[in-house]
Amino acid sequence: MNASTLHMIFAAPTASTCLAECTQLLNPADSLLLIGDAVYAAVIGSNAATLLDDLHREGHALHAIAEDCVARGIAQQLLPRVRPVTYADFVAMTVAAPRSMSWF
């Protein structure tokens, strides 16, 4: 069995293909964290919303940095399956994950 990896996406889905590329490498226990402009992927009705819905149905944990959502004015528009987390949560997730991978 593969150990889980925390995949951290930093780029907006409209500016980069890293979210789509990342999903091709996800293992069943992996988690996804949206940071910075990547939080736009978690907006209800976004082009990436269907992709995130599929990942959720596959059992992947989906997170977005709450402070980044607030700073971009989208905190009230997040998909219900994407859990807002603080930077302290982000640090704890990174420490707890056996591996992490950053996508820019």
Query: pLDDT tens-digit profile of 34-71?
Result: 999 999 999 999 999 999 999 999 999 999 999 999 99
b/e per residue, 71-103, with b = 16+ CB within 10 A? eeebeeebbeebbbbeeeebeebeeebeebeeb
User: 16-39: per-residue pLDDT in tens?
Assistant: 999 999 999 999 899 999 999 999
Per-residue confidence (pLDDT) for residue 2, from 0 to 100 = 57
Predicted TM-score of the model (pTM): 0.94
Task: Please compute the mean of the pLDDT values over residues 97-104 and round it to a whole number.
Answer: 95
**Structurally, how many domains does the chain consist of?**
1
Residue 93 has pLDDT above 80, yes or no: yes
* CA separation for the pair 55, 31 (Å, rounded): 9
Residues 36, 15 contacting (CB under 8 angstroms): no
Residue 55: CB atoms within 10 Å: 22
Domain region containing 13: 5-103
Q: What is the CATH number of the domain that holds 9?
A: 3.40.1260.10
